[in-house]
């Protein structure tokens, strides 16, 4: 294995789940979910929670 090549490779950038946007929208107000990538109930900026159908 070429050690010089291994040393010059970049490490992958890791992102937290909160940096990845959730695609959920509140069906009553159309506000986006603020939790980031997650499982379970969604929540918007005013604290309203909902589940996907």
pLDDT of residue 45: 94
* Tokens representing residue 52 in the block: 């996907």
- Burial-class residue 50 by CB neighbours within 10 Å (0-12, 13-18, 19+): middle
Q: Is residue 11 part of a domain?
A: no
Tell me the C-alpha distance between 14 and 31, whole Å: 27
Q: Is residue 44 part of a domain?
A: yes
Q: Is residue 32 part of a domain?
A: yes
Tell me the C-alpha distance between 37 and 40, whole Å: 10
β-strand partners of 32: 25
**pTM for the whole thing?**
0.64
pLDDT digits (tens, 9 = 90+) for 37-46: 889 999 999 9
Q: Is residue 26 part of a domain?
A: yes
Q: Is residue 36 part of a domain?
A: yes
């Amino acid at each position: 294995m070429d050690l010089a090549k291994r040393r010059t490779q970049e490490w992958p950038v890791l992102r937290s789940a909160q940096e990845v946007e959730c695609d959920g929208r509140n069906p009553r107000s159309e506000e986006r979910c603020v939790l980031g990538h997650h499982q379970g109930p969604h929540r918007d900026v005013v604290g309203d929670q909902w589940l996907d159908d």
